[in-house]
Chain A
Amino acid sequence: MEPEVIAKTRVSNKKTAGKLLIIVVAMFGFGYALVPLYDVVCQVLGIGRFADIESGKYDPKAQEQLVKDMAANKDLTRNVTVEFITVLNGGMKWEFKALQKEVVVHPGVMSTVDFYAKNLTGRDVIAQAVPRILPGNATKYFTKIECFCFTQQIFKKGEARNMPLRFMVSPALPKSINTITLSYTFFDTQPVALK
C-alpha cells in the first residue's frame, strides 16, 4: 500500500477509536444512571425500596390526613389477615420475633403488634430493620403509622426490648387480597459504618 494511504488510515483508526471510547465512558455512566432511574420507576409504581411510602420522604400532615380518610371508610365486615416474618441478615446473632405470628384486622382500623429483639452479639449494635410487603401490589394499601423500621435501633450489648408497629390497612385494598405478609429483615449496620 502507498505510504499516504497507510498514514490516512492510521489517522482515521485513531479517530474511530476515540469516538468509540466516548461511547464506552458514556455507557459506564449509564450503568450508574440506572440507579436513580430505578428509584424513579419504583417511586412511580410504589414498589421496591419505596414500598414504604414513609421511608425517606415522610410528611406527617399527609399521613395524618391519609389515616383519617381511611378510618372514615373503615369496613368492619371485611377481615384481612396480616402475617409477620422476621429475618436476620447474614447470620447476625440476635433474637428477633413478632410476638404475634399473625393478626386479623379490619381495613381502616388501627392495630398494634409488638416485636421483640435481643442483642446476643456481645457488643453494642446499631441495627436497621428493612420491611417488605407481599404481595407487592398490597404495598400501597398498607400504612405504617409507627414502626421500629423508621429509624436505626441502638441495642446495647445484651439489651432486649419490645418494639411496637402500628399500622392500618386501607379500605381500598383490592378484593382479591385477603392475606398480607409483612417481612422484616434486621441488618447490623456496623459493617456498613466500618467499611
Chain B
Amino acid sequence: MSDHPTGIKRWLFTTNHKDIGTMYLWFAFTMLFIGGAMAMVIRAELFQPGMQVVNPNFFNMMTTLHGLIMVFGAIMPAMVGFANWQVPLMIGAPDMALPRMNNWSFWILPFAAIMLVAPMFIGGDFMAGQGPAFGWTFYEPLSGQYDKLAFFIFAVHLLGFSSIMGSINIIATILNMRAPGMTLMKMPLFVWTWLITAFLLIAVMPVLAGVVTMMLTDKHFGTSFFDAAGGGDPVLFQHVFWFFGHPEVYIMILPAFGIVSQIIPTFARKPLFGYASMVYATAAIAFLSFIVWAHHMFTVGMPAAGELYFMYATVMIAVPTAVKVFNWVATMWKGSMTFEVPMLWSIAFVFLFTIGGFTGLMLGVVPVDFQYHDTYFVVAHFHYVLVTGSLFAIIAGVYYWLPKWTGHMFDIRLSKIHFWVSAISVNILFFPQHFLGLAGMPRRIPDYALQFTEFNQISSIGAFIFGGTQLLFLYIIIKCIKGGDKVSDEVWEDAKGLEWEVPSPAPYHTHATPPTVK
C-alpha cells in the first residue's frame, strides 16, 4: 500500500490528503514570510515621519500585497492545509472525497501567487512599485486606473477556483465519508467549523470572481459597472466587494475557532462546554455574516435607515461570538489545566481575539465608526482578530498536531520562548495602533504628523521582534521534522478523537478500514 512515487513526482502528482495538506501548509508558511517581509518594509518606513526607506507608491504596493498575500496566501491556505490533514483523520475517512481535484486546488495556488506579485518585477524599475498599489480591498475607481490590472484579476480568479474546488472537496468528504457511527453532532468541532466555512466559501468566492470580472470588462471591453463616465457607480463596487469581504473575514476565523475548540478541552481535561451551542453559534455567525457587509462603508452616504440596520445587524454578531468565548472559558473553568505549548497559544487566542472582538463592536456603532473609519484603530482591530486570532490559532494547531504528523515532539524549551516572545511583541506591535487611531492617524499613509512618532516607533519595534521570532518557529518545525523525542500514538495525555488512535507519525494511508465510533 505505502509505495508511492518519490522525489518531485510525489509532490506534483500526489492525491494523498496528507501530502497535499503538507504542501498547503508549506505554501502558507512561505507566503507568511513573504507577506511578513513586506510588513517589515511598512514598519521600517513608519518608524519615523517623513520618507526614509521607500517611495509612497512602493509603500502603497507593500500594504496592498501584504494584505492580499496574508489573506489569500497565508491564512486561507493554512486553514485548508489543516482541513486536508485533519478532516479525514478526524472523521475516519481514508482520504478526501475527490483526491484528483484536491491536487489541482493546491497546484493552482503557486501560479496565482506568481501572477499577483509578477507585476512588481515587470518594466525594470523595481523600486518604482509597478505592482498593485490600491489597497487589498482594490476599490474602484482607483484600481480601474492601474495599467497591469489584468494580472491582478486573473490571480484572483485562480485563487477563487482553488478555494471553490477545495471547499467542494471538504464538504463532500464531510457529508459522505464519515466512519459509521460518526453522526453530524458527534463530529469534532474543527470539522464542523470547516463544513460551515466551506459553504461560506462556495457562496462568496463566486461573487468575488464576479466583481473582478466586472472590473475586467469595464477596463477592456467597454462595460460600465463601476465607471461613472458610462453611468456606472464606484459605490456599487464597494457593496459587491463587501458582500464577499465580510463573510471572507469569517472564513478566516471560523476554522480558527475550530482548532481552539479542539485544543482547550484536551488540556483542560474536560469535554468542550456547550458543544451543541458551539455548532449553532458557528452557523449563526455564518448566516449573520451575509447581512452586515455595509458596516465597512458606513461613511459612503447611506440613508439613515440603512446605517441603523447595518449597525444593529453587526452588533448582533457579538452574541454568537460571545457564546463561543464563554464556552471556551467555561471549558477551562475547574478543569485540570496544564499549559503545554498548544494550550498557551490557545489561551492567548481567547484573550487577544476577544480584544479584537470588542474593537469590532466599537466600529460597528455608526457614530463611532464615522470617527475611526480608515484610521489605525481599524488596523488594530483587524490585526487583533487576524494575527492574534487566526494566526495564533494556526500556530496553536501546528504545535498540537505536529507531533502526530512527524512522530516527534518539538523542542519544548524553544517553543515556549517562541510563544512568550511572540505574545508580548505582538501586543507591543498592535496595541499602540489603537491609540494612533483614536488620535486620528489615517491608515495606508507612508508619512505622518509628528505627534504620532512615539507610538509608531513602539509599534515598529514590536513588529521587528514579532517578525524575527517567527524565524524561530521555522527552525523549531524543521528540527521537529528531522528528529526529536518519539511520541506515543495519543501524543497528549488522554487526548480524545480519532486522529489520536492512528500511529505516530501518521502513516501514509490511514483509516483504510473505517474505525468504530463509540
A16 and B176: CB pair below 8 A? Answer: yes
By a CB distance below 8 angstroms, the chain B residues around A27 are 202-207
| Cα separation A49 to B227 with both chains bound (whole Å) | 11
> In the assembly, what is the distance between CA of A47 and CA of B306, in Å?
12
| One of B58-66, B216-224, B367-375, B458-466 contacting the partner | B216-224
A47 to B307, CA, bound (A): 14
Residues of B within 8 A of A195 (CB): 219-222
User: Secondary structure at chain A's binding surface: helix, strand, loop or mixed?
Assistant: helix
> How near does chain A come to B445, taking the closest CB pair, in angstroms?
21
CB distance from B172 to the nearest CB of A (A): 4
- Taking CB atoms and an 8 Å cut-off, the chain A residues in 26-66 that contact chain B are 27-28, 30-32, 34-35, 38, 45, 47-49
Contact B206 A24 (CB under 8 A): yes
On whether the beta carbons of A31 and B222 are closer than 8 Å, the reply is no
Chain B, residues 389-429, CB within 8 Å of chain A (1/0): the string is: 00000000000000000000000000000000000000000
Closest residue of B by beta carbon distance from A13: B97
Looking at the assembled complex, report how far the CB atom of B309 sits from the nearest CB atom of chain A, in whole angstroms. Answer: 12
CB-contacts of B223-246 with A (<8 A): 224-225, 227-233, 235-236, 239-240, 243
Task: Decide yes or no whether A89 CB sits under 8 A from chain B.
Answer: yes
CB of B176 within 8 A of CB of A12, answer: yes
B316 on interface, CB distance cutoff 8 Å: no
Q: Is B211 an interface residue (CB 8 A)?
A: yes
Find the A residue at minimum CB distance from B171: A20
Please name all residues of chain A whose beta carbon is closer than 8 Å to the beta carbon of B203 when the two chains form the complex: 23, 27
Chain B CB within 8 A of A136 CB = yes
Do residues A9 and B206 form an inter-chain contact, with CB atoms below 8 A? no
Contact (A23, B202) CB under 8 Å given A38-B236, A195-B221 = yes
Whether B229 lies near A9 (C-beta < 8 A) is no
Q: How far is the CB of A39 from chain B (nearest CB, A)?
A: 9
Q: Is B249 an interface residue (CB 8 A)?
A: no
Whether A16 contacts B97 in the complex (CB less than 8 A), given A28-B209, A31-B207, A48-B235, comes out as: yes
Q: B94 at interface (Cβ–Cβ under 8 A)?
A: yes
A192 to B514, Cβ gap below 8 A? no
Q: Known contacts A16-B175, A17-B172: does B233 contact A192 (CB below 8 Å)?
A: no
Q: How far is the CA of A168 from the CA of B272 in the complex (A)?
A: 66
- Give the nearest-CB partner of A135 in chain B: B301
State the CA gap A130–B141 with chains docked (Å).
14
User: Contact: A32 with B98, CB < 8 Å?
Assistant: no
A1-B512, A1-B514, A16-B171 given; A24·B202 CB < 8 A: yes
Return B46 CB to nearest CB of chain A, in Å. 28
Contact residues of B between 162 and 220, Cβ < 8 Å to A = 164, 167-169, 171-172, 175-177, 202-211, 214, 219-220
Alpha-carbon distance A20/B233, docked complex (angstroms): 32
- Beyond A130-B228, A195-B222, whether A9 also contacts B202 by CB under 8 A is no
Residues 293-337 of B, flagged 1 when their CB comes within 8 A of A and 0 if not, give 000000001110000000000000000000000000000000000
Of the candidates B171, B172, B224, B233, which one forms a contact with A48 in the assembled complex, judged by CB atoms under 8 Å apart?
B233
CB atoms of A192 and B227 under 8 A apart: yes
Contacts of B214 in A (CB 8 A): 32, 35
B229 near A17 with CB under 8 A, answer: no
- Residues of chain A within 8 A of B169, CB atoms compared: 17
B513 proximal to A (CB < 8 A): yes
With A20-B171, A27-B207 as given contacts, are A13 and B176 in contact (CB-CB < 8 Å)?
yes
Q: A1-B512, A193-B222 are in contact. Are A31 and B211 (CB under 8 A)?
A: yes
Question: Closest residue of chain A to B94, judged by CB?
Answer: A1
Residues of A within 8 Å of B177, CB to CB, are 9, 13
In the complex, whether B145 has a CB less than 8 A from a CB of chain A is: yes
A128 to B175, CA, bound (A): 54
Stretch from A158-166, A171-179, A181-189 at the B interface: A181-189
Chain B residues whose CB sits within 8 angstroms of the CB of A31 once the complex forms? 206-211, 240, 243
Question: CB-CB < 8 A to A103: which residues of B?
Answer: none
Closest to B164 in A: A24
Nearest-neighbour CB distance to chain A for B210, whole angstroms, equals 3
Name the contact of A136 in the complex, choosing from B101, B145, B206, B303 (C-beta under 8 A). Answer: B303
Instruction: Tell whether, in the assembled complex, residue B239 and residue A34 are in contact, meaning their CB atoms are under 8 Å apart.
Output: yes
- With a CB–CB cut-off of 8 A, which chain B residues contact A130? 228-229
Q: Is residue A72 within 8 Å, beta carbon to beta carbon, of the partner chain?
A: no
Residues on A with C-beta less than 8 A from B303 are 45, 47, 136-137
Residue pair A89, B176 in contact (C-beta under 8 Å): no
**Out of B175, B205, B219, B229, which one reaches A189, CB within 8 Å?**
B229
The answer, yes or no, to whether A7 is at the interface (CB within 8 Å) is no
CB contacts under 8 Å to A, within B27-66, are: none
Complex interface: chain A residues within 8 A of B235 (CB): 48
List residues of chain B with CB within 8 A of the CB of A47: 301-303
Q: Mark A1-18, 1 if CB is under 8 A from B, else 0.
A: 100000001001100110
CA–CA, A20 and B101, complex, Å? 14
| A122 at the binding interface (Cβ < 8 Å) | no
Kindly state the separation between the CA atoms of A185 and B145 in the bound complex, as whole angstroms: 16
A 75-93 contacts with B by CB, 8 A? 89-90
**Residues of chain B lying within 8 A (CB to CB) of residue A135:** 301
Q: A16-B97, A90-B145 are in contact. List 8 more A-B contacts (CB 8 A).
A: A9-B177, A24-B206, A27-B202, A28-B210, A31-B207, A31-B208, A195-B220, A195-B222
12 residue pairs A–B, Cβ–Cβ below 8 Å: A16-B176, A17-B97, A17-B101, A20-B171, A20-B172, A21-B168, A25-B206, A27-B203, A30-B210, A34-B207, A47-B301, A195-B219
Chain A residues with CB under 8 Å of chain B are 1, 9, 12-13, 16-17, 20-21, 23-25, 27-28, 30-32, 34-35, 38, 45, 47-49, 89-90, 128, 130, 134-137, 185, 187-189, 191-193, 195
Interface residues of B (CB under 8 A from A): 94, 97-98, 101, 141, 145, 164, 167-169, 171-172, 175-177, 202-211, 214, 219-222, 224-225, 227-233, 235-236, 239-240, 243, 301-303, 512-514
In the A-B complex, list the 9 residue pairs whose CB atoms are closest, starting with the nearest: A31-B210, A187-B229, A28-B206, A31-B207, A27-B206, A13-B97, A16-B172, A136-B301, A49-B233
